[in-house]
């Protein structure tokens, strides 16, 4: 079907395009943490914007860091919908359509529930946009865009145009240097978005190493954050990437699976290239849970060996854990938190199991009649949206909140830090975990003052090799970094949050 003609370009003139990432969580939500939503710029949208022609005009608005104004009328509005921002995405889409703009909706949620999204868009896009969006632009310019574009076979990251980083306001983000050099993942966990999103084509593919290295070269400063689902997913690619990065003096963070950390010497190569912190999907300590969720790559693996190996290389661990899998009973929270603290995990991301539409897990839960709600705004891994097998929903929620509080108590952070052999490593762990979770009001202040880029040297200091002296966040460090903020303001902000052994005000990741 062809879209309504009132929304089409009347002649082949340059396109005025607005790319929007609607807020995932409203600032009024108890789980709102400004710093969490000021971490990364919307890379997906900057990737799509690269397909516009040189004469076109583009702007990217990320609602997490700036207000979205709706009094304009671009030719084209491109909106990215994750599940929890879907309703907001639809409201924005409806508004622009009512004004006569042509609205495109794409992203994870749109791919899972395209019929729902289609009610609010002129064109919907399934899967990654590197093949479909340029095809759409051609059709749009020719005045005959389709209603549905599906990414299928032939997906590649070769010869893609450089991401439009010029459209990103770097000083609005703590980590403006985020980067993805692969798409997808070689694994097939039943709760993951991946298989549904990449349906019909390759589920894991990489950039050319040269292109990835060139993109890295383009990024200023030292710190990088690889947002890839699995940075060690293709051994040959990762080996070449890390070899190429040696000597670049970069410090970076990324994500990988437990088996890839134990296999071969890839992790040593990564450490040598500058890997200092890694997100690891431990998910559960119970083998039956792993089996049921098809997380085979974790089965029979020695989690302690994973932690020990990473620590021996000076790499901090952000452990991911899921609560509410079918074998989880009342004891799961204490067991998991104790394990994480006892094994020196620096930061933990706890999730309530969330059956996302389109996943195998969701299909099973529907078959078993266990889904409790279709309110997508609750699908943020902090609300119980299905009936757990061995726990009451309230007990699951309480246990989750308790786990966050317990893991991030000052005494727990100190205990986990003491796991490391050297004072320097302990200080590094302590300052990273405390900096992330214990200084919320200070982060708030820094974000409001638009001074996030000034934190980068501090972050780089904490991520540097375990070789320097004092590493803890001190008032003096903060004052040096932010001369515009008075020391009284810093003291009172820190005091406001100084619950000492009290749990953190925000009980979220
Ligand atoms: C960065 C990130 C975030 C940022 C999001 C802000 C941002 N700047 O994007 C932050 C830190 C806020 C975040 C938070 C969360 N995240 Co997150 N996040 C990511 C991450 C690591 C990278 C996203 C990214 O930049 N990808 C790279 C770009 C190039 O890809 P992309 O954004 O998908 O865009 C492409 C396509 O989607 C498509 N596309 C997108 N929009 C459109 C629109 C059109 C018109 C078209 C044509 C195409 C198109 O084209 C783009 C180019 O191919 C992904 C994992 C991943 N590798 O994608 C997880 C991921 C998206 N997050 C996930 C989760 C679970 C969360 C949290 C719920 C975790 C938590 N409990 O805290 C929260 C959300 C909280 C909430 N209230 O909802 C899951 C989502 C699962 C799902 N089914 O929805 C993912 C997939 C991780 C995973 N493997 O499970 N996250
Ligand atoms: S390893 Fe991670 S990214 Fe890969 S399929 Fe499993 S959950 Fe998804």
Out of 198, 229, 256, 355, mutate this one to test ligand 2's pocket (max ligand atoms within 8 Å of CB): namely 229
Q: Which of these three, 407, 442, 463, is where a domain ends?
A: 407
- Any domain includes 220: yes
- Any domain includes 164: no
Claim to verify: residue 399 and residue 432 sit in the same structural domain: no
Give me ligand 2 centre to Cα 140, in Å.
35
Claim to verify: residue 49 and residue 77 sit in the same structural domain: yes
- Looking at all shown ligands, the one closest to residue 508's CA atom is 1
- Any domain includes 95: yes
- Any domain includes 250: yes
Claim to verify: residue 306 and residue 439 sit in the same structural domain: no
Give me ligand 2 centre to Cα 165, in Å.
27
pLDDT, residue 347, reads 97
Instruction: Copy the structure tokens of residue 332.
Output: 């799961």
Give the Cα-Cα-Cα angle 448, 454, 459 (nearest 5 degrees): 115
Boundaries of domain holding 188: 174-407
Residue 487's contacts (CB-CB under 8 Å, 6 or more residues apart) are 475, 479
Pick the atom of ligand 1 nearest to 123's CA.
Answer: 45
Claim to verify: residue 85 and residue 227 sit in the same structural domain: no
404 with 333: CB under 8 angstroms? no
Claim to verify: residue 186 and residue 326 sit in the same structural domain: yes
DSSP 313-338: TT-EEEEEEEE--TT--TTHHHHHHH
- Any domain includes 507: no
Claim to verify: residue 103 and residue 249 sit in the same structural domain: no
Regions in the chain scoring below 50 on pLDDT: 1, 467-509
DSSP state of 282: E
DSSP 450-468: T-GGGGHHHHHHHHS-TT-
pTM: 0.92
Q: Of 295, 353, 362, 324, which is closest to residue 113 (Cα–Cα)?
A: 362
pLDDT, residue 468, reads 40
- Any domain includes 155: no
Claim to verify: residue 18 and residue 59 sit in the same structural domain: yes
Instruction: Copy the structure tokens of residue 200.
Output: 């019909």
- Any domain includes 329: yes
Claim to verify: residue 250 and residue 391 sit in the same structural domain: yes
**Which residues, judged by CB distance below 6 Å to any ligand atom, belong to the binding site of ligand 1?**
24-25, 36-37, 39-44, 47-48, 78, 80, 82-84, 104-108, 125, 128-130, 132-133, 180, 192-193, 227-229, 351, 356, 380-381, 509
The total domain count for the chain is 3
190-249 pLDDT per residue, tens: 999 999 999 999 999 999 999 999 999 999 999 999 999 999 999 999 999 999 999 999
The domain spanning residue 117 has which CATH number? 3.40.50.280
- Any domain includes 161: no
pLDDT, residue 10, reads 67
Claim to verify: residue 333 and residue 194 sit in the same structural domain: yes
Claim to verify: residue 11 and residue 42 sit in the same structural domain: yes
Claim to verify: residue 102 and residue 241 sit in the same structural domain: no
- Collapsing DSSP states into helix, strand and coil, what is residue 154? coil
pLDDT, residue 287, reads 97
pLDDT, residue 444, reads 87
What distance in Å separates the CA atoms of residue 299 and residue 291, rounded to the nearest whole number?
7
Pick the atom of ligand 1 nearest to 129's CA.
Answer: 50
pLDDT, residue 308, reads 97
For atom 73 of ligand 1, the residue with the nearest CA is 380
The 10 Å CB-count burial string (b at 16+, else e) for 446-467 is: bbeeebbebbbebbebbbbebe
The domain spanning residue 212 has which CATH number? 3.20.20.70
Claim to verify: residue 246 and residue 278 sit in the same structural domain: yes
Pick the atom of ligand 1 nearest to 359's CA.
Answer: 83
């Amino acid at each position: 079907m062809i879209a309504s003609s009132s929304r089409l370009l009347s002649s082949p003139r340059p396109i005025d395009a607005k790319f929007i990432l609607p807020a995932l969580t409203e600032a009024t939500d108890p789980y709102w943490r400004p710093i969490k939503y000021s971490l990364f710029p919307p890379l997906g949208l900057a990737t799509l914007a690269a397909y516009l022609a040189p004469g076109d005009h583009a702007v990217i608005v990320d609602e997490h860091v700036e207000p979205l104004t709706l009094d304009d009328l671009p030719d084209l509005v491109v909106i990215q919908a994750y599940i929890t921002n879907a309703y907001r995405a639809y409201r924005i889409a409806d508004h622009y359509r009512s004004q006569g703009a042509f609205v495109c909706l794409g992203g994870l949620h749109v791919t899972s529930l395209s019929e729902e999204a289609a009610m609010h868009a002129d064109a919907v896009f399934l899967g990654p946009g590197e093949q479909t969006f340029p095809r759409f632009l051609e059709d749009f310019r020719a005045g005959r865009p389709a209603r549905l574009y599906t990414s299928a076979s032939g997906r590649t990251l070769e010869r893609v145009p450089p991401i439009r980083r010029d459209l990103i306001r770097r000083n609005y983000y703590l980590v403006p240097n985020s980067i993805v050099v692969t798409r997808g993942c070689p694994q097939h966990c039943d709760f993951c978005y991946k298989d549904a999103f990449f349906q019909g084509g390759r589920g894991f593919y990489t950039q050319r190493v040269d292109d990835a290295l060139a993109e890295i070269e383009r990024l200023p400063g030292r710190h990088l954050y690889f947002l890839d689902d699995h940075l060690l997913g293709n051994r040959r690619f990762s080996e070449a990437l890390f070899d190429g990065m040696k000597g670049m003096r970069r410090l970076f963070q990324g994500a990988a699976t437990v088996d890839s950390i134990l296999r071969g010497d890839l992790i040593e190569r990564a450490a040598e290239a500058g890997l200092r912190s890694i997100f690891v999907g431990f998910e559960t300590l119970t083998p039956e849970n792993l089996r049921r969720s098809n997380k085979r790559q974790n089965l029979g693996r020695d989690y302690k060996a994973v932690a020990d190996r990473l620590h021996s290389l000076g790499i901090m661990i952000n452990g991911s854990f899921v609560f509410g899998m079918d074998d989880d009973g009342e004891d799961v929270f204490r067991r998991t938190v104790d394990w994480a603290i006892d094994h020196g995990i620096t930061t933990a991301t706890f999730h309530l199991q969330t059956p996302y539409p389109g996943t195998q897990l969701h299909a099973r839960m529907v078959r078993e009649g266990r889904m409790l709600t279709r309110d997508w705004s609750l699908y943020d891994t902090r609300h119980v949206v299905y009936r757990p097998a061995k726990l009451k929903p309230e007990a699951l929620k309480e246990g989750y909140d308790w786990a966050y509080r317990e893991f991030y108590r000052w005494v727990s952070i100190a205990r986990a830090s003491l796991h490391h052999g050297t004072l320097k490593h302990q200080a590094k762990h302590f300052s990273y975990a405390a900096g992330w979770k214990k200084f919320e009001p200070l982060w708030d202040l820094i974000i409001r003052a638009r001074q996030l880029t000034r934190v980068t040297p501090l972050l780089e200091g904490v991520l540097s090799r375990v070789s320097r002296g004092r590493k803890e966040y001190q008032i003096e460090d903060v004052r040096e970094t932010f001369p515009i903020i008075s020391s009284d303001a810093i003291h009172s902000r820190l005091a406001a949050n100084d619950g000492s052994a009290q749990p953190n005000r925000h009980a979220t990741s």
